[in-house]
Structure 1
Amino acid sequence: MKIARIREADERCGWALVDADDGRVQRIRAPFSHWASRLAGDGIDALDLNTASIDLADVQLLAPVDPSARVFGVGLNYLTHLTRLGRKEAPPHTIAYLKPDSALVDPGGVIQYPAVTRQLDYEIELVAVVARRLTDEEDATECLLGYTIGNDVSARDAGKALGSLDLFTQKALDRTAPIGPWIATLDTFGGPGQPERDMTLRINGETRQHDNTRNMIFPLAELLNFVDARVALRPGDLLFTGSTCGVGLEDGRFLRPGDCIEAEIEGIGVLRNSVGPQRILPPRRRNGRLGIP
């Protein structure tokens, strides 16, 4: 199944079941908290669907994030990416961070080029969507609703003047985290376990990143347990799971205003976005202490 968050012509927002082949959606009447944890057991009956369907072209796809959810990310998770940046071996554990809801960008939406960077980078990532809290299950991925696509757009020059990592500037910038176009439920991936799906990112039609999620250093179950040991995951939470090689940091080809980005993951679909003009701060608000290049 594919489940999207949509905005209808009358401005109502909610969840819907997507039939991408027929180009139709059916609105889910119950709130996320009522059906997400039941979907694995009850299937489509858990959704309480509106009997009438709507043309997919007549609704706006929104980032498939419940309003109460948090968005987490992890890094250092593909060895090819690390070795191209000069690291010779896998790290002992991942690193994690939080993204504010103001960072999210809808499918088809415009990525804001922030004022505080000259090195805006792209990173395709598989994003896990949590359906219920973790308990003592053998495989932590049993807690998932499914997966969507994320583009973890990052300010690579953040923290250079400090000589240290500045994850707030790098990962939390307004309108820099496209997510979508919908959630492919766990059954689409054969149930719980480590996903093994090809992922590709293209800029203006040119392939920049290509890999398979089987190549993660830290598998999904380990990532979920890592985050949950620090911040207990809740239904609706999202987890960006790291990106592979081919990013702009490796060859200096960073994003530019006007670029069109397509992030594609096998079994989910294609997330398309464009890059808008760079945000300009008024002269009085620009100085060295703001960390603006």
Structure 2
Amino acid sequence: MKIIAIGRNYAAHAKELNNPLPTSPVIFMKPETAVLKDNKPFYIPDFSSDVHYELEVVIKINKEGKHIAEKFAANYYDEIGLGIDFTARDLQSALKEKGLPWELAKAFDNSAAVSHFIPKTSIADLTDLQFELKVNGETRQNGNTKNILFSFEKIIAFVSQYITLKKGDLIFTGTPEGVGQVHPGDKLQAWIGKEQFLNFDIK
């Protein structure tokens, strides 16, 4: 299982980080060891003093595919959930300044909190999906998939031209604006509509 993540897929988030809007999906990856499941607490690593939360809709690949045409891409996922892409922002900035890859800032252990998944057929409209993150009871991110630059199908088609997708792979589809730092003692809770998907503590 691998995690493929899409950067800068919401224009307002790209703007808040002073990043240009991409003309094709921005891809990075996390290893299986990044997964944090079952609402277990997230422990801030000692190599960063500025870890940020980034709430994202996550889609789960249901069969192997490569060179997938966009018109068939919807057949390659049947479940969705939520995830948080934890990012060591201070480390990421230092790496970017040197023109180096982001992996140390993005792919560290437990940097991908993942919720349970539900059938995509239970969602009335995947292109108008409201999702929300609260930190200590205060709404910090309030996103909607109608604002993504690249649709789920475009992402699957694009990635599969380079990387074979396999059953169980997860795709983090991008975060809306409102990202921010986590601190010990914080509680993170996330919803799709009225259903809660994440509820865990920062240590």
Cα distance in 1 between the residues matched to 2:94 and 2:112: 24
Shift of 1:115: 1.6
Cα shift readout 1:94-147 (whole Å, capped 9, x = no counterpart): 211221122111132011211211110001100010111345472412211210
TM-score computed with the length of structure 2 as normaliser: 0.90
Partner of 1:172: 107
Cα shift readout 1:246-287 (whole Å, capped 9, x = no counterpart): 011xxxxx11111110121227532112111xxxxxxxxxxx
Cα distance in 2 between the residues matched to 1:224 and 1:258: 37
How has the CA–CA distance of structure 1 residues 168 and 219 changed in structure 2, closer, same or farther, with 3 Å as cutoff? same
Partner of 1:279: none
Instruction: Could you tell me which runs of 5 or more consecutive residues in structure 2 were left unpaired when the two chains were aligned.
Output: none
Q: Which has the larger radius of gyration?
A: 1
Does 1 or 2 have the higher relative contact order (CA < 8 Å, sep 6+)? 2
**Moved >4 Å (runs of 4+):** none
| Correspondences of 1:107-256 after superposition (within 5 Å) | 107-134=38-65, 135-136=68-69, 138-162=71-95, 163=97, 164=99, 166-180=101-115, 182-190=116-124, 194-248=126-180, 254-256=181-183
| Correspondences of 1:252-291 after superposition (within 5 Å) | 254-266=181-193, 269-276=196-203
Shift of 1:196: 1.7
Counterpart code for 1:149: L
Cα distance in 1 between the residues matched to 2:5 and 2:173: 6
How has the CA–CA distance of structure 1 residues 237 and 268 changed in structure 2, closer, same or farther, with 3 Å as cutoff? farther
How has the CA–CA distance of structure 1 residues 221 and 185 changed in structure 2, closer, same or farther, with 3 Å as cutoff? same
Cα shift readout 1:178-231 (whole Å, capped 9, x = no counterpart): 101x211121125xx853211111111111110211110111111111211111
How many corresponding residue pairs?
Answer: 199
How has the CA–CA distance of structure 1 residues 132 and 118 changed in structure 2, closer, same or farther, with 3 Å as cutoff? same
How has the CA–CA distance of structure 1 residues 212 and 159 changed in structure 2, closer, same or farther, with 3 Å as cutoff? closer
Cα shift readout 1:5-33 (whole Å, capped 9, x = no counterpart): xxxxxxxxxxxxxxxxxxxxxxxxxxxxx
Cα distance in 1 between the residues matched to 2:43 and 2:52: 12
Cα distance in 2 between the residues matched to 1:267 and 1:96: 30
Partner of 1:79: 11
How has the CA–CA distance of structure 1 residues 204 and 227 changed in structure 2, closer, same or farther, with 3 Å as cutoff? same
Instruction: Could you tell me which runs of 5 or more consecutive residues in structure 1 were left unpaired when the two chains were aligned.
Output: 1-68, 249-253, 277-293
Cα distance in 2 between the residues matched to 1:207 and 1:269: 14
Q: Is the 8 A contact 2:70 2:153 kept in 1?
A: no
Percent same amino acid among aligned pairs?
Answer: 29
